[in-house]
Amino acid sequence: MAEIILNVDVRENVGTGGARAARRAGSVPGILYGGDKAPVAISVNEKDFRKSLYTGKLLGHLVTLKYGEESQPVIAKDVQFDPVTDRPLHFDLMRVDEKQTISIEVPVHFINQDKCPAFRQGGSLEIVRHTVEIVVRADHIPEDLIVDLAGHKLGDTIRISDIKLPEGVEPAIGDRDFMIASIKASSAAKAADEIEEAIAEENAIAAEAAADEVPATEQSDGE
């Protein structure tokens, strides 16, 4: 089963007023939905919720919801935060079966930048997707997808086919080999290259002009 347990209470008062009342009481309001049951307004003690949240294994993972003696597996789909205080304001839980196949987004992490020659040449990583939606069984959701940058060169594009997906994991987008990131020359490197090219061009023009000029003394000696 899941590593995290959320002990919830059912909220009788729904809507904005009910959510505010839950926050004043030291809880985080939420909603439980999915399956063949109607949505239920719930709340969790804020201190306990924060502890679970800061483990990094709450959002987007299989967790256990407990209400009294009852328990069921759920997926924490979303958490809303106060933009100023960063306090959790609301959360969404989705009912699932542990063996149910679901679609869910997981983060993409990049490793071995120090082993990528492109970065020593002034390259920079341009990330197209920070998360990728995958299709996977609820009890096999990976923590993340790993992109190994070792050996990549300037101009390389990294696509979903370049990622070694865990067993049983498939991308939700299956009809194309979509891009995850690319390695491009940084603006500073580009500027340096442009300056070098300009200097080389000026030197070539100057050398050509010098070769075309014949000194007057040499002309008189030859007459």
Give the tens place of pLDDT for each residue, 154-193.
Answer: 989 999 999 999 999 999 999 999 999 999 876 555 545 5
> According to the model, what pLDDT value does residue 209 have?
66
CA 154 – CA 91 distance, rounded (Å): 42
More confident site: 210 or 34? 34
- For range 25-54, the mean pLDDT: 92
**129-161 pLDDT, tens per residue?**
999 999 999 989 998 999 999 989 998 999 999
Find out whether 21 and 13 touch, Cβ atoms under 8 Å: yes
Host H or E run for residue 46: helix 46-53
Q: Mean pLDDT over residues 28-38, rounded?
A: 90
In the chain, where the domains are located: 5-97, 102-187
pLDDT at 23: 93
Whether residue 21 has pLDDT greater than 50: yes
CA distance readout (Å), 151 to 108, 114, 183, 190: 19, 10, 12, 21
Structure tokens at 112: 């071995």
pLDDT at 212: 65
List own/partner pairs for 191-199 with CB under 8 A and 24 or more apart.
192/122
What is the C-alpha to C-alpha distance for residues 35 and 40, in angstroms, rounded to an integer? 12
- Number of Cα atoms under 13 Å in the Cβ half of residue 19: 12
Would you place residue 30 in the very low, low, confident or very high pLDDT band (cuts 50, 70, 90)? very high
Reported CATH class of domain 102-187: mainly beta
Q: What's the burial of 7, exposed, middle or buried (CB within 10 Å: 0-12/13-18/19+)? A: middle
Euclidean distance between CA atoms 92 and 33, whole angstroms: 8
- Which of the two residues, 218 and 196, has the higher pLDDT score? 196
State the pLDDT at residue 131.
Answer: 94
User: What's the chain's average pLDDT?
Assistant: 85
Domain 5-97 top-level CATH class: mainly beta
Mean pLDDT of 84-113: 92
| Residue 219 or residue 84, greater confidence | 84
Is pLDDT of 1 > 50?
no
Within the chain, how many helices (H) and strands (E) appear? Answer: 5, 13
Q: Which of 55-59, 91-95, 116-120 has the highest mean pLDDT?
A: 91-95
Give the full edge-to-edge strand order of the sheet including 123-127: 123-127, 179-185, 157-159
Distances (CA, A) of 159 to 5, 60, 179, 213: 36, 23, 4, 55
